[in-house]
Copies of this chain bind each other. A is one copy, B any other.
Amino acid sequence: MIRFSSSAQKMRSSEIRKLMKLAADPSLISFAGGMPANSLFPIDTLDEIYASLSVQAKQTAMQYGPTEGLPPLVKGLKEYLASKGFNLEGQDLLVTTGAQQAINVIAKVMLDPDDIVITEYPSFIGALAAFKSYQAITEGVPMDDEGIIISKLEEALDKHKSRVKLVYLSPYFHNPAGIIYSESRKNAVLEVLRKRKICLLEDDPYGELYFDQADKVLTQPIKTMVNDESVPICYAGSFSKIFGPGIRLGWLLAPTEIIDKCQLCKQSMDACSSSFTQVLATEFLKESRLEKYLQLLRPVYARKAQIMLDSLKEHMPKGVSWTTPKGGFYIWVTLPEHMDSSDVFSKSIEGGAAFVIGSAFDPAGKRNNSFRLAFSHTPEDMIAKGVEIVADAVKASL
């Protein structure tokens, strides 16, 4: 009796969501959710910030703010981005309700039904869902250890020509693949996009989380490498992994013409992002708080990744391969072609450990001989045990 829109008719609670609910069982060792550990949040800093707020600041925190973001936060973010090498000329910034909203508004202002978005295979589940919610078609292009494979990218662009509205990439400590793009691959991507004048959405929630200072240079965003208007690049960032997802704040840096549309779009989505958490984030960007917190986080994640890598090496059978992350939250495990990670998932859950199956990250929702392990929120002393359980499940499914 209820007549849903054509896009809502296609929305279905996916198999993945059911599995994620299974994976949320607290008795399991979970490598499923892509989130920080609760114990890592900077609660002392938060207390310090709250205690420092004037009554006036708290009143601002409780009030509506401009759709584009509270001016002090916009200023702080612009300074932060400028320090990372972004040229802000001709660009504008929109504070968003998480990077998820940044992706969603770009989808809304760019995509009509049956438009094509080229993504990596595998790709971020939240971005795929946003593109599909506007009835766009997502096509995945495979990656190697240095990023998206250029010849395959060109093939996909040649195949779909002007139906391609957007290329979506996540080049830095990729979710779920865990890899980081090489500089030469970033240059090659840029060249392809320039030639075809295709818009790029560059998603960068994990770039700050390199394990080794020497790899910082690799996290230089593609957008900072462009100083002309030859290719429109929309750059999405987030506080979720560098402060806390619960404040629901991200940002979008893009050509002014695009931000103008995104702002109108966001206005009718949620009017503005929380002023309350924007006031907190503004203070977090001050007095080197962010940098100090990052210095604390990086070795923690590096250690967790190393434990996971060591355990994989120890326990995984031959024929199974995985990526070696230089930062971020994830390791992507690839099984022999004939295997199905759903089988491994069921056995692993029985054994007491959870992860996310590979098809969740396939733009076509099919390929499933792989899975994602998140090491970010699992207590260090549980990682080896959990990996052993997963490896046992793999062996039992061989």
Indicate if the CB atoms of A126 and B268 lie closer than 8 Å: yes
Indicate if the CB atoms of A270 and B197 lie closer than 8 Å: no
Chain B residues contacting A28 (CB-CB under 8 Å) are none
Interchain Cβ contacts under 8 Å between A and B, 29 examples = A2-B232, A2-B258, A3-B110, A4-B261, A8-B109, A8-B261, A11-B109, A11-B264, A13-B264, A35-B64, A38-B56, A38-B59, A41-B62, A43-B55, A50-B50, A64-B246, A97-B248, A108-B133, A126-B267, A126-B268, A129-B267, A130-B268, A244-B276, A246-B274, A246-B275, A248-B270, A248-B273, A248-B274, A277-B277
CB distance from A118 to the nearest CB of B (A): 15
User: Bound state CA distance, A109 and B8, in angstroms?
Assistant: 5
User: Bound state CA distance, A350 and B255, in angstroms?
Assistant: 35
Q: Decide yes or no whether A33 CB sits under 8 A from chain B.
A: yes
Of the residues B38, B111, B247, B274, contact of A60 by C-beta under 8 Å:
B38
Chain B residues contacting A273 (CB-CB under 8 Å) are 97, 248
Chain B residues contacting A50 (CB-CB under 8 Å) are 50
Seen from chain A, the residues whose Cβ lies within 8 Å of a Cβ on chain B are 1-8, 11-13, 33, 35-36, 38-39, 41, 43, 46-47, 50, 55-56, 58-65, 96-98, 100-101, 104, 108-112, 115, 126, 129-130, 132-134, 165, 197, 199, 232, 240, 243-248, 255, 257-258, 260-261, 264-265, 267-277, 280
Indicate if the CB atoms of B270 and A100 lie closer than 8 Å: yes
Indicate if the CB atoms of B274 and A64 lie closer than 8 Å: no
The 8 closest A-B pairs by CB, nearest first: A62-B244, A246-B275, A8-B109, A129-B268, A38-B59, A41-B62, A97-B270, A248-B274
Contact A59/B35 with A5-B134, A8-B265 known, Cβ cut-off 8 Å = no
Indicate if the CB atoms of B274 and A247 lie closer than 8 Å: yes
Contact A199/B246 with A8-B110, A63-B38 known, Cβ cut-off 8 Å = no
Chain B residues contacting A46 (CB-CB under 8 Å) are 58, 62
Chain B residues contacting A165 (CB-CB under 8 Å) are 3
User: Bound state CA distance, A12 and B257, in angstroms?
Assistant: 12
Q: What residue of chain B has the Cβ atom nearest to residue A39's Cβ? A: B59
Chain B residues contacting A267 (CB-CB under 8 Å) are 126, 129
CB distance from A41 to the nearest CB of B (A): 4
Chain B residues contacting A59 (CB-CB under 8 Å) are 38-39, 41, 43
Chain B residues contacting A7 (CB-CB under 8 Å) are 108-109
Chain B residues contacting A13 (CB-CB under 8 Å) are 260, 264
User: Bound state CA distance, A98 and B50, in angstroms?
Assistant: 23
Indicate if the CB atoms of A11 and B265 lie closer than 8 Å: yes
User: Bound state CA distance, A129 and B109, in angstroms?
Assistant: 14
Q: What residue of chain B has the Cβ atom nearest to residue A110's Cβ? A: B5
Chain B residues contacting A58 (CB-CB under 8 Å) are 41, 43, 46-47
User: Bound state CA distance, A258 and B240, in angstroms?
Assistant: 29
Indicate if the CB atoms of B64 and A245 lie closer than 8 Å: yes
Q: What residue of chain B has the Cβ atom nearest to residue A36's Cβ? A: B63
Of the residues B39, B199, B270, B271, contact of A2 by C-beta under 8 Å:
B199
Chain B residues contacting A47 (CB-CB under 8 Å) are 58
Q: What residue of chain B has the Cβ atom nearest to residue A50's Cβ? A: B50
Of the residues B35, B38, B274, contact of A276 by C-beta under 8 Å:
B274
Contact A133/B268 with A35-B64, A245-B63, A275-B246 known, Cβ cut-off 8 Å = yes
Indicate if the CB atoms of A4 and B109 lie closer than 8 Å: yes
CB distance from A234 to the nearest CB of B (A): 10
Chain B residues contacting A246 (CB-CB under 8 Å) are 60-65, 274-276
User: Bound state CA distance, A126 and B264, in angstroms?
Assistant: 11
**Which residue among A55, A112, A130, A268 has the maximum number of chain B CB atoms within 10 Å of its CB?**
A268
